[in-house]
Structure formats: C-alpha cells, structure tokens
Chain A
C-alpha cells in the first residue's frame, strides 16, 4: 500500500488523533473523582495551615494527618451572606472526614464574580439582593484555646487565578496567619506569594476599617497595620492579591463585626460576675 499518498496521510492522521482523544477522554473521566479528592485535601490543608499559624508550636508537614487534625480542631464551618447573616452550615466532617465541605476554586470564582457585580450594581435594591445571594465561607477553629476564623480570598493574577486563606483572631481584624496559592504565576517571581517569607509577613497585621481593608504595596508596609510589602519583580501579582484580599475582606466586614461584638460581649461577661445579664448572641444586630 502507498503510505505516502495525500488521502492516506489525511485519513491516517484523523484516525490517529480521534483514537488518542478518545483514550485521553476516557482516562480523564475515570480518574476525575480521585483527582478532585486530592484537590479537596489540598484545600483542607491550606485552610488548616492558615489557622495553625496562630500557634507557633503547631506545624503541618507531609507526615501530618490533615483530615484528623482538621476535624479535631474545627468548631464551626458555615457560609455567610453580605449582610453578615449565617446562611448555611457546612459539614465539618466530624462523623466522616470524607464529607468535609470546603470551597473549590470554582466556588471561590463564583463568589468573586458576585462581589465584582455588587461593586458595579446600579440600584440599591440590586445591591441588596446581590449581597443576600453571596455565600462566603467561614471556618472557625480552636487552636490551643485561641478562636481563629479563616476566610478565603480570590483574585486574578498575572497568568491565572490566585487565591488564599486568611486566619483572623476573634476581634475580626488581627491576622494570625495567611496562606496563598496560584494556578500558574511565574516561578521565582509571582509564585513567591505561596512561599514562606511572603505569607509569614501577614502575621500580626490587621484588616483596616477604612475604604481599603488591605493592600499589598511596595515600600508602604512599615508601621502600617493593613499593608504588607509587595514582591520585587511581581508587581501585577502582588497588586492583584492586594485587590483580591481587599474586595473579599470588605464584604466579610458585616459578619466580622458581628463576630467581634459577640466575642467582646463574652469577654465582658466573663470579667463581670457570671450572674450579670447575658446578652444573647443572636440579639446583636449586624453592623452595616
């Protein structure tokens, strides 16, 4: 047979490509569940390691049983809307670690899109309904007696999405830990947001009350609580991360303020006599 004719060559390449595509599609479909589970465990690890930075004695490495540690330390996991009201509780995996619910990056993207829409909403009614449609996840941990709330953030980096988890103390402001990840930022430059000297610089900082809740900017961080230093050579990634944290933190504010007020009430109650009037947590109006 003439294997050099045009017809033969075209038919050969079409058949080969279709065959290869079919094999790859089949393999991708059959391995998908397993791969998604790995990604979920990675997210759980990220959430947990953000929270665990609150205590220097707690370390997470490859040998840590992440699922066990997560279920042992988590005290609550739920989603709040843009007004600070709790919408839905998430499975913490106390009965079965396989059922732990964490947001995927696709979920974060969905929320991020709503956040961006709110910023551009035309009428107050639109804005209100969009705020109500948000479901922003919050994870509450008990790390050696400290109550730590972990909230995510998401943004568009230079080459793809960047996201992360920020652990806050129960005043709703002080950052106890942070961890970030990215899809494909430049290794050695933007990719450094996922590495130690950068994310550890968040510890001890705080979310601001003003127009911007947080910023990642070059040379302005010294003595400023709501700003960390940017990464040299990665201006776009750094700024995108700053914008992402700022956007998300802004819409978590109503919830964080409620939480801080509750925490304060509890401390006051403990300081005065325990027979003093207890303010029921539910009676505290979300601060707008």
Chain B
C-alpha cells in the first residue's frame, strides 16, 4: 500500500470521478443550496471539511472498529463532525447558517461522506484518506459552485449579492429568470453539466 498515487487520489474526484456528475451522489443538497453563490461556497467548504476529517478519523481507528457496528461507528464520527461545523457556523457566520438551515445537519446523510469512508478510509492509511475525503468534498463543491454561479446570475442578476447585470438591461426589458431559482431548473443545469462532461470524456458514455 506504500505506492499510493497522491496525484490521482487528489485529482480523480475533481473531474474524472466526480462524486456528483459521475457517481451521482449528493444530488438533493446540490439542488437545494445553490440559489446563492455565497451559500453554495460555505456548503462546499463544510462538506469538504466533514468528508476530509471523518475519513481521517475513521482511518485512524479503522483497525479497532468492531465489524458488526462498523456503520454506526462511522455515523457517530460523521455526526460529530457535522455538529461541530454547524456549531461553528452558528457562532461565526449566523446569516449563512440560517440560509443553509437544515442542509448543514443533513450533510450527515450525504452519500459522499459515508461512501468515501466505506470505499476508501476503511482500507487506507490516515493521510491518503484525509486527502481522498478533501478531494471528494472539493469535487462536490466544484459542481455546487458552478451551479450556483449560473443560478445566481440568471435568477437574480447578482454574484455574491453584488449586482452584475446592469440596471440598463432591466430598463430595456430584461427580466430575471424565476425558473432558475427553483430546484427543477437546477436539475436541468446539472444534467447539462453531466452531458458536457460525458461528451469530453468518451469512456464514461454507456453503449
């Protein structure tokens, strides 16, 4: 196990093995929290930290975990990390924690976190597990940020709350697209991203 390719561990989840577009995990939250870029960024950061640290901790104790309660132990570790992130957000970034509402708590049900622990952290050393968790969180976050970028600029005409589309456009009859704000359009946008990725990476296409 000593010849782990760190480059592959770090880069594969970002594009070639992206947890959202390739493994199609964590769809629910990526539709729910991508209305505003700021919220999406905080969510991305939170998930990255949670996946990274949970993988790391589980990997440290992986040899001592009784096999029969393996999933429960993983859940406890993930829950610990999620509550820590939630508490810290409540203390230092209250308005964002309010706008993310239940979705921070729901990181625990995000399949990416448990998926990476089961698939990677249980069989690998702590440092590669940490990197794997961080990279998968970042891959998820990347899709979130791309989605939020299009949704905020098309739906509200702003980015990070600052007006991007000038007032002159609105005066000339341009209108924000209300549909982009709603989750169905987020799913369509996500579908477009999957389409673009598969047309670049031909080996992902199913025959």
> Considering only CB atoms and an 8 Å cut-off, how many residues of chain A contact the other chain?
21
Q: Does A20 contact B (CB under 8 A)?
A: yes
Shortest CB-to-CB span from A144 to chain B, Å, is 26
User: Which of B3-11, B85-93, B167-175, B192-200 forms contacts with chain A?
Assistant: B85-93
Q: Please, which residues of chain B bring their CB within 8 A of the CB of A20?
A: 76-77, 79-80
> Considering only CB atoms and an 8 Å cut-off, how many residues of chain B contact the other chain?
23
- Interface centre among A8, A9, A42, A62, by most B CB within 10 Å? A9
Please report the C-alpha to C-alpha distance between residue A13 and residue B66 in the assembled complex, in whole angstroms: 9
Tell me the residues in window 116-155 of chain B with beta carbons closer than 8 Å to chain A beta carbons: none
Q: Does A31 contact B (CB under 8 A)?
A: yes
Question: Which among B68, B76, B84 is the interface contact of A9 at CB below 8 angstroms?
Answer: B68
Please report the C-alpha to C-alpha distance between residue A23 and residue B67 in the assembled complex, in whole angstroms: 24
Shortest CB-to-CB span from B57 to chain A, Å, is 10
Tell me the residues in window 61-87 of chain B with beta carbons closer than 8 Å to chain A beta carbons: 63-69, 72-73, 76-77, 79-80, 83-84, 87
Q: Please, which residues of chain A bring their CB within 8 A of the CB of B77?
A: 20
Tell me the residues in window 142-193 of chain B with beta carbons closer than 8 Å to chain A beta carbons: 161
If A17-B76, A20-B76, A27-B84 touch, whether A38 touches B68 (CB-CB below 8 Å) is: no
Shortest CB-to-CB span from A272 to chain B, Å, is 50
Please report the C-alpha to C-alpha distance between residue A3 and residue B122 in the assembled complex, in whole angstroms: 15
Shortest CB-to-CB span from B98 to chain A, Å, is 8
Determine chain A's interface SS by DSSP, over half rule: helix
Question: Which among B63, B66, B80, B87 is the interface contact of A12 at CB below 8 angstroms?
Answer: B66
* B161 contacts A9, C-beta separation under 8 Å: no
Please report the C-alpha to C-alpha distance between residue A47 and residue B87 in the assembled complex, in whole angstroms: 25
If A24-B83, A31-B90 touch, whether A16 touches B76 (CB-CB below 8 Å) is: yes
Query: Could you pull out 27 A-B pairs where Cβ atoms are within 8 angstroms?
Result: A3-B63, A3-B64, A3-B66, A3-B67, A4-B66, A9-B66, A12-B64, A16-B73, A20-B76, A20-B77, A20-B79, A23-B80, A23-B84, A24-B80, A24-B83, A24-B84, A27-B83, A27-B84, A28-B87, A31-B87, A31-B88, A31-B91, A34-B91, A35-B87, A38-B90, A41-B94, A62-B95
B residues with CB within 8 A of A = 63-69, 72-73, 76-77, 79-80, 83-84, 87-88, 90-92, 94-95, 161
A residues with CB within 8 A of B = 3-4, 8-9, 12-13, 16-17, 20, 23-24, 27-28, 31, 34-35, 38-39, 41-42, 62
